[in-house]
A and B are shown apart, each in its own frame.
Chain A
Amino acid sequence: MPAHTSKDLTGWGRYPVHRCHVARPEAQASVTRLLQQGDQATYIPRGLGRSYGDAALNEDGGIIDKTRLDRLLAFDAEEGLLRVEAGVPFSDLLAVCLPRGWFPAVTPGTQHVTVGGALAANVHGKNHHTDGAIADHVEQITLATPARGVVTCSPTEDPELFWATLGGMGLTGAILTATLRLRPVTSAYIHMDRRQTRDLDGTLDTLATTDASTYSVAWIDALAPGSSRGRGIVVSGDHATGEQALEVTKAPLDPPSRASRRLPMTPASWVLSRQTARVFNAIYHQAHGPRQGELVDLDRFFYPLDALDGWNRVYGDRGFLQHQAVLPKTTGREAVQAQLEHVAESSIGAYLAVLKRMGPADPGPLSFPMAGYTLALDLPREPGSETVARDLAELTADQGGRVYLAKDAVLDHELLEAMYPETDRFRQVKDRVDPDQRLASSLSDRVGLTGEAGR
């Protein structure tokens, strides 16, 4: 039985901090053993800890650190099917697949997440409106469960368990392996268009024109005053062909490597204040003028923040919250407007506000995406920030939208039930494979998916 180490852990927002008892197995069989016989009352699997709140924490409970289960098991380079252990980071996937002309069909905004974590959160990228979320590109998974040992599931084999697990935040079991369907590419470049907009309407209108592109995203200025609020930069792009990439490189599948810099220290909290953020946003907006058909490498297009290792420390020791909500298409424009207004009226500086379109929801009961707009913003943890985050969550619920559990740190039981109407169905599936609730996290206890409220 693997040993445990007690340590203080956080998510990417560096808040909350919970004392957890971590086991770090190196064999798949040990994972199952931990779930069935481990010392701790409950466990939650953890990858690289890139969820923002407490989804991969278990206060005074067990954590299964999956990062050493990081082996590639099978690769069909003809069909683009890759079978991996859940601890494989996207960075490894890219290093192996790209030279052979394959790329993940869906990638989150950082390479430093594990496949298991990506599936548990059912991550989406800049192409949800065209390609859906990562769950739509998974052939099958094997899952270690407390009651049934290792089970295989897919959209055709026990689809109920499959869809409860993808987006299920680790609460149905520990994903051991996954088979991913990749997308063929002939270069490591994207040809990108970029447009500036002057206000929210301009941003939303411009986003609507990017339908023909595979990828699109808008960065918006949530702090610009009055009518300029929501002005931004709309970026769209498609994979460049090998031939197109020859314009900038002799080796199309070989991206220029970019050494990442590390933030040398945690800055004092005054460095990022609402005022400096305002100025920063304005400069950023100005600096990113329009572009058409510019060839950018995959790193810059998909993983801009990875260039600054540990960027989350820029918010200081108090950490930050992230609010990410999806607002339904029917009221999208007004809903986004209302959310931005609420942020502007508070005294909290919101940086890095990102807006993307989303396509229809998938069958997962805890899966986040739905057709509409998703808005994400960071809220540095100053006094009052939690209230703002909670207010935004309530506003989201009122607007018929929902909050992304992989980012959340403020929802309660009531809000969860309001946003995710199928939690009873989720609990039923969980009960099938985990009747004794061996799987629980700080998040699941907080929102009542487990613990007393969850029974």
Chain B
Amino acid sequence: MTRTLVLGATSTIARSIVRLLGARGHDLTLAARDPEESEAVASDATIRYGVEAATVPFDALEEDHVATLKAAVEEHPIDGAIACFGLLGDQERARHEAALARGIIHVNHTGLVSALTPIADHLADRGQGSIAVLSSMAGERGRASNYPYGAAKAGVTTFLAGLRQRLHGQGVQVTTIIPGFVDTRMTYGQDGMFLVASPEDVARATLRAIDKGKDVAYVPWFWRPVSWLLRAVPEGVFKRLDL
């Protein structure tokens, strides 16, 4: 029976991913901070799809998650892991409050690096499987409006590229998912969003990308040319833009 670990299982996109995985008959290990919410996601999957769903406490900021995740995958070996946790935070405040800026980097980047360490080893030992992580268009280039978050995600994208290269010869695929704006609780109520995707769309695209063994998937597809354009602008010009 295929088992997938979902990191940040109570996040908006994760909840759609969990339902899709359940519908495919995957057993689940759900890692999240809030135990009550985790349990609700788990029971929902079990009742709807008859799959087994275990919950594991996971806080991206706490170092003990390394040991907990290691123990969890030893008890229930996994075939794949999908990471969908993150913190956007108030980007304006983060410009001036170092503690908030640090927190954003810690959750999105350090926490991800830390959590994937035992998971990458586990899958490499098994010689098979997949890792998929939700990065972000914000990481494609640093912009004034969201550079603390963007920096964290840029680091994630680079980390995943390196991990992809390391694990390539060992039968483990690493997929970087790069969404634009998504209608989640992270962005609800924000102005200035456009071409907003639904969590269900992103979830479906994520699973499709994993199915096809893709390295980097922009979701929806049109963000790929946008990213190319964004990165093509010379810095001397870019710094004058109001983005």
Contact = CB atoms under 8 A, between A and B. Distances in A.
Interface of A: 2-5, 24-29, 68, 71-75, 85, 95-96
A96 B36 contact: no
A5 B188 contact: yes
B108 interface: no
B190 A3 contact: yes
28 contacts: A2-B188, A2-B189, A3-B188, A3-B189, A3-B190, A4-B189, A5-B188, A24-B185, A24-B188, A26-B10, A26-B12, A27-B10, A27-B37, A28-B36, A28-B37, A68-B12, A68-B185, A71-B40, A71-B41, A71-B43, A72-B44, A73-B43, A73-B47, A74-B43, A75-B47, A85-B40, A95-B48, A96-B47
A74 B190 contact: no
B189 A5 contact: yes
Contacts of A68: 12, 185
Interface string B40-58: 1101100110000000000
B228 to A, nearest CB: 32
A373 to B, nearest CB: 39
A96 B190 contact: no
Nearest to A97: B47
Interface in B23-82: 34, 36-37, 40-41, 43-44, 47-48
A72 B190 contact: no
Given A5-B188, A24-B188, A26-B12, A72 B36 contact: no
Given A2-B185, A27-B34, A71 B10 contact: no
Nearest to A65: B188
Q: Which of A3, A71, A85 has the most CB of B within 10 A?
A: A71
A4 B36 CA distance: 24
Interface residues of B, number: 16
B161 to A, nearest CB: 31
B75 to A, nearest CB: 24
Contacts of B47: 72-75, 96
Nearest to A77: B47
Interface SS, B side: helix
B50 to A, nearest CB: 10
A2 B188 CA distance: 8
Contact of B44 (A2, A25, A71): A71
A426 to B, nearest CB: 31
Nearest to B41: A71
A74 B40 CA distance: 9
Q: Which of A5, A72, A85, A95 has the most CB of B within 10 A?
A: A72
Nearest to A3: B189
Contacts of A73: 40, 43-44, 47
Nearest to B43: A73
A64 to B, nearest CB: 13
A3 B188 CA distance: 6
B100 to A, nearest CB: 16
A188 B15 CA distance: 29
Contacts of B44: 71-73
A5 B191 CA distance: 9
Contacts of B15: 26
Contacts of A2: 185, 188-189
A75 B47 CA distance: 7
Contacts of A27: 10, 34, 37
Interface in B1-28: 10, 12, 15
A46 to B, nearest CB: 15
A96 B12 contact: no
Interface in B170-191: 185, 188-190
B199 to A, nearest CB: 9
Given A3-B188, A27-B34, 19 more contacts: A2-B188, A2-B189, A3-B189, A3-B190, A27-B10, A28-B36, A28-B37, A68-B12, A71-B40, A71-B41, A71-B44, A72-B44, A72-B47, A74-B43, A74-B47, A75-B47, A95-B48, A96-B47, A96-B48
A72 B40 CA distance: 7
A26 B36 contact: no
Contacts of A96: 47-48
Nearest to A88: B44
Nearest to A74: B43
Interface in B79-131: none
A26 B189 contact: no
A34 to B, nearest CB: 13
A74 B45 CA distance: 11
Contacts of A4: 189
A27 B9 CA distance: 13
A71 B16 CA distance: 11
Nearest to B185: A26
Contacts of A74: 43, 47
B193 to A, nearest CB: 11
Contacts of A5: 188-189
Contacts of B36: 28-29
A71 B189 CA distance: 23
Contacts of A28: 36-37, 40
B107 to A, nearest CB: 18
B188 A72 contact: no
Contacts of B40: 28, 71, 73, 85
A7 B10 CA distance: 27
A96 to B, nearest CB: 6
A2 B185 CA distance: 8
Contacts of A95: 48
A75 B45 CA distance: 12
A127 B10 CA distance: 39
Contacts of B185: 2, 24-26, 68
Contacts of A71: 40-41, 43-44
Contacts of A3: 188-190
Across the A-B interface, the 10 shortest Cβ-Cβ residue pairs: A3-B189, A71-B44, A72-B47, A71-B40, A75-B47, A72-B44, A5-B189, A26-B185, A3-B188, A73-B43
Q: Which of B47, B185, B189 has the most CB of A within 10 A?
A: B47
Contacts of B41: 71
